Chain A
Amino acid sequence: MKAYLHSIATELAARVQSNDELVAGVEGWTADRIRTKTGIAERRIAAPDETAGDLCFRAAEKLIAAGNIDRSTIDALIVCTQSPDYFLPSTACVLQDRLQLPQTVAAFDVTLGCSGYTYGLWLARSLILSESAKNVLLLAGDTYSKYCHPKDLSVASLFGDGATASLITDQAANVWAEIGPSVLGTDGRGAPNLIVKAGASRQPTSEIPSDRYLHMKGAEIASFAVSTVKGVIERLLDKVGLKATDVDGYLFHQANPVFVQRLVSAYKLPPEKVPVGLASIGNTCSATIPMLLEECAQAGRFKPGQKLVLVGFGVGYSWAGTLLEWKKS
């Protein structure tokens, strides 16, 4: 039994927010500074009444239409989001109905951010290898812009809103890639470094306005990434018996283009093996890796047989690396 990535579809929030628009009225920031420091030229912003669930829904409909996928064959639905439609029920339950999936489907949310897609691949593959499912619809989407204070450009400049839909299947026909093993990890000591403190059960309300918005300690997050991602790659390669020279591509969580380039440079990885993207979308959290993967697939960047290492890392702290063997010609 094997698990395959059949295809991916991407859906972006419609509104484009330029750096010029973002910095208007905010002292100490310029559009050029944002572009230079992050590589982000513009970002997608969800409408006030548009949720991650809506974006996931549209991505799923695109995927189903493009692949002529029979909805009745989907037996598991995983929605990875940190921007759920409601505290309860889960967004997956809402989307089971909206997508008209069978009532026999197992549907649940995974509340992870930047590591969410690689966790989702691990989970979907595990369901298939254990013969618990044959076709898993993996949706990853977020609307972090709604968590960002409009004047806090240290975060508002980075995040964009969008979603992806991926079909993970046990059938080898016409697939993009075979999904290999994963390595995963968690360090909850990093929880305060990327957090929305107020609004949930621990702190339902706060008199401190900033507690209701996304708070990020950038230096700690960068240090976490630098100190973690290399180990994830090494653990994964050790697990699957490959050497670094066997890897044809590294697809990292796209925190922002400059961040990824700095990581490449810090690890002395061959830049040509590390695609960098989403400069006009922003950091869409769990959706950055599948968006980049789709972009690469459409561009014909990978050849059959090539080995790709995917690494998601961030909020939690949480991280996961997954091996793909490319199949699509």
Chain B
Amino acid sequence: MSATVDQVLDGIAECLQVSRSTISPTTVAADVPAWDSMAVVELVFMLQRDYDLTLPPAQATTLTSVEAVLKILRDAGKLA
């Protein structure tokens, strides 16, 4: 499926279990205490579940900002 930026931000907020208002396209992990290694695991699962996108293990470590998630989706042609 192809997603809008808003939908991706909704998904990220859900993975981090934080309020949607906390997450913007410029948010980085350091801004959100909940964005820890367990949250990154949730993001990995979200990309597979919602976008059928399988990350190579080494790429999982790059999920440290909203822009990084958006770029992965953009590069995979999954972002509207």
Q: Please report A residues at the B interface, Cβ cutoff 8 Å.
A: 37, 154, 190, 193, 217-224, 226-227, 259, 262-263, 265-268
Contact = CB atoms under 8 A, between A and B. Distances in A.
A148 B56 CA distance: 27
B4 interface: no
A219 B61 contact: yes
Contact of B58 (A218, A220, A268): A220
B27 interface: no
A219 B60 CA distance: 6
B48 A266 contact: yes
B40 A227 contact: no
Contact of B41 (A193, A222, A268): A222
Contact of B48 (A37, A193, A226, A259): A226
Interface residues of B, number: 18
Given A262-B42, A266-B45, A226 B54 contact: yes
Q: Tell me which of B38, B42, B56, B59 has the highest count of chain A C-beta atoms within 10 A of its own C-beta.
A: B38
A259 B37 CA distance: 13
Given A226-B44, A226-B54, A220 B49 contact: no
27 contacts: A217-B61, A218-B38, A218-B41, A219-B37, A219-B41, A219-B60, A219-B63, A220-B58, A222-B40, A222-B41, A222-B44, A222-B45, A222-B60, A223-B55, A226-B44, A226-B48, A226-B54, A227-B54, A227-B55, A227-B56, A227-B57, A262-B41, A262-B49, A265-B45, A265-B49, A266-B45, A266-B48
Contacts of A37: 38
Contacts of A193: 57
Report whether over half of chain B's contact residues are helix, strand or loop; otherwise say mixed: helix
Report whether over half of chain A's contact residues are helix, strand or loop; otherwise say mixed: helix
B57 A224 contact: yes
Interface in B33-80: 37-38, 40-42, 44-45, 48-49, 54-61, 63
A190 B61 CA distance: 13
Contacts of B59: 223
B44 A223 contact: yes
Contacts of A268: 49
A314 to B, nearest CB: 12
Contact of B61 (A154, A220, A262): A220
